[in-house]
């Protein structure tokens, strides 16, 4: 009985840690340069798994194949999207994209779609010329998004 009383607090702590990492927050490491200059390779982010509402320009982590990718949401479900001469157009209107590096011309019809389907998001890396993103892999299903992030654990305070 004494053994059980001794290990019970450790089991409780381990259970809480597992539940928090599974359902609330977890660290994620940026891999690659597709989010330069906002995020750097090796940067450690805190991923919010509990918030499943996503807005334009949120940074999200999603599953793609056997990898977890970090990108920025550019287009929302039901929208049209186009980059022309480095300018972002959503539903035919100019939207300022303060995070983008030079972006080559692109429109959804290049992917054989006219609008972003319901339940999907169009994501891009901030380093647009060095990013495998929705321009290549297509829109991302909401169910494949693990969560969003706006906090860097290391280095501190690097996300703007």
Choose, from 48, 71, 131, 148, the residue flagged as catalytic. 71
Single out the catalytic residue among 34, 131, 148, 152: 34
Pairing label, strands 44-48, 93-95: unpaired
Query: Are 19 and 11 spatial neighbours (Cβ–Cβ below 8 Å)?
Result: no
Q: Is 52 a catalytic residue?
A: no
Give catalytic status of residue 141 as yes or no: no
**CB–CB of 140/148 below 8 Å?**
no
Query: Is the bond leading into 149 cis (omega within 30 degrees of zero)?
Result: no
Q: The tokens 């100019």 sit on which residue?
A: 94
So which residues are the catalytic ones? 34, 71
């Amino acid at each position: 009985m004494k053994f059980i009383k001794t290990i019970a607090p450790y089991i409780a702590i381990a259970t809480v840690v597992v539940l928090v990492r599974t359902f609330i927050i977890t660290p994620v490491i940026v891999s690659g340069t597709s989010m330069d200059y906002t995020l750097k390779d090796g940067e450690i982010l805190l991923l919010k798994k509990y918030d499943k509402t996503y807005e334009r320009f949120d940074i999200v982590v999603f599953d793609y194949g056997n990898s977890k990718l970090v990108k920025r949401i550019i287009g929302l479900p039901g929208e049209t999207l186009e980059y022309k001469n480095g300018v972002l157009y959503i539903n035919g209107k100019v939207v300022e994209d303060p995070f983008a590096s030079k972006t080559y011309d692109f429109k959804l019809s290049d992917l054989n779609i006219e609008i972003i389907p319901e339940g999907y998001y169009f994501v891009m890396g901030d380093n647009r010329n060095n990013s495998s993103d929705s321009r290549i892999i297509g829109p991302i299903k909401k169910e494949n998004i693990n969560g969003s992030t706006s906090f860097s654990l290391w280095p501190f305070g690097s996300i703007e």
